[in-house]
């Protein structure tokens, strides 16, 4: 059986802050005899002296300071747990994990997060970045509760609800110094096969990774996100498709050249998705907030800058 109680820690904390047993009793609405008895019992149970007593004034011993140092963490954790239990009873989750595709920056959701904390301070938020199929997989594997900007159609088998939030066009581009920039006409497979592609890594752990636009056996520079892909294509280290907003800005700045290809990449739709049958208050708040409109435009403003 534990010899340490939260009540005893609360009393030791109050004595240390207030400087005496009587002042601690006033704060905690306990008579002095109860304060003295609890401290004495704590010292007997632990077999250590917690306070040095010099008349009405008391001071923590070395052991007492260590006890209170760690004990305050326990008191804060207990208080936090009380709040969270009340939140759960009222329908609010203790934690909500939100995953977004790594093409977009987390800064796109700053205003949403601020607004959420105004109404749900006791629900922890965890923001996760995934890529390509990994965003869908994280949702189905329960690593996240809400997927924002999941690309393409979701996996077969169901178990989730998805709402389209926007569509992106793609532009094939290379640096002006890249050999493909000088090739006339549409680029075919034979043109592309001889050069390196720059591709985003798929973060899926179990699902099949997406390899859109890559040819069998092709040399590929695999990068973690769209910002890195844009950087390396501007550096002339490879070719690939880029989101139109990124590509147009780089082309206008003379950093990239748009090229036509025989097999263009189709426009891609992005989705907001969550698991079927889950209706916690925090999840419902985010669903309502993000379905108000303007979400995808905000996300596109946070695509990698040139």
Q: Which CATH number fits domain 170-266: 3.40.190.290, 3.40.50.720, 3.40.50.300, 3.40.630.30?
A: 3.40.190.290
Topology of the domain comprising 95-167+269-301: D-Maltodextrin-Binding Protein; domain 2 (3.40.190)
Radius of gyration of the chain (CA): 29
Q: What are phi and psi of 162, to 5 degrees?
A: -135, 145
The pTM is what?
Answer: 0.70
Q: Could you tell me which residues are beta bridge partners of residue 223?
A: 200
Q: Do domains 6-89 and 170-266 have the same CATH topology?
A: no
Q: Taking the CA of residue 125 as centre, how many other CA atoms within 13 Å lie in the half-sphere pointing to its CB?
A: 21
**Spatial CB neighbours of 77, under 8 Å, sequence gap ≥ 6:** none
Among residues 248, 259, 241, the alpha carbon closest in space to that of 300 is found at 248
Listed by start position, the domains of the chain span 6-89, 95-167+269-301, 170-266
pLDDT class for 215, splitting at 50, 70, 90? low
Topology of the domain comprising 6-89: Arc Repressor Mutant, subunit A (1.10.10)
pLDDT in tens, 144-170: 999 999 998 888 888 999 999 999 999
pLDDT in tens, 26-67: 888 888 888 888 988 888 888 889 888 877 778 889 998 898
Instruction: Let me know: does 180 contact 196? Beta carbons within 8 Å.
Output: no
pLDDT in tens, 94-103: 899 999 999 8
> 74-88, 153-167, 174-188 — which is least confidently predicted?
74-88
- Mean pLDDT (whole number) for 189-204: 90
More confident residue, 122 or 95: 95
Residue-wise DSSP of 126-154: EEEEE-THHHHHHHHTTS-SEEEEEESSP
For residue 26, the model assigns a pLDDT of 87
């Amino acid at each position: 059986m534990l010899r340490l109680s939260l009540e005893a820690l609360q009393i030791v904390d109050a004595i240390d802050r207030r400087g005496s047993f009587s002042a601690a009793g006033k704060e905690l609405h306990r008579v002095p005899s109860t304060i003295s008895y609890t401290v004495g019992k704590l010292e007997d149970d632990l077999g250590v002296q917690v306070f040095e007593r010099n008349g009405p004034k008391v001071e923590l011993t070395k052991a007492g300071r260590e006890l209170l140092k760690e004990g305050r963490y326990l008191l804060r954790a207990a208080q936090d747990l009380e709040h969270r239990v009340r939140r759960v009873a009222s329908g609010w989750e203790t934690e909500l994990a939100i995953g977004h595709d790594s093409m977009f920056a987390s800064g796109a959701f700053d205003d949403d997060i601020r607004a959420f904390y105004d109404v749900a301070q006791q629900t922890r938020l965890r923001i996760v970045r995934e890529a390509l199929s990994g965003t869908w997989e994280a949702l189905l594997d329960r690593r996240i509760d809400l997927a924002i900007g999941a690309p393409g159609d979701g996996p077969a088998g169901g178990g989730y609800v998805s709402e389209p939030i926007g569509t992106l066009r793609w532009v094939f581009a290379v640096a002006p110094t890249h050999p493909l920039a000088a090739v006339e006409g549409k680029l075919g497979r034979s043109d592309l096969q001889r050069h390196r592609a720059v591709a985003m890594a798929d973060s899926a752990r179990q699902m099949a990774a997406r390899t859109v636009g890559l040819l069998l056996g092709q040399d590929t520079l695999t990068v973690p996100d769209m910002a890195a892909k844009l950087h390396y294509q501007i550096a002339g280290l490879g070719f690939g498709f880029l989101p139109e907003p990124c590509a147009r800005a780089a082309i206008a700045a003379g950093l990239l050249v748009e090229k036509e290809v025989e097999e263009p990449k189709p426009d891609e739709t992005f989705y907001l998705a969550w698991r079927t049958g889950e209706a916690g208050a925090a999840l419902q708040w985010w669903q309502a907030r993000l379905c108000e409109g303007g979400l995808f435009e905000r996300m596109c403003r946070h695509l990698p800058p040139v």
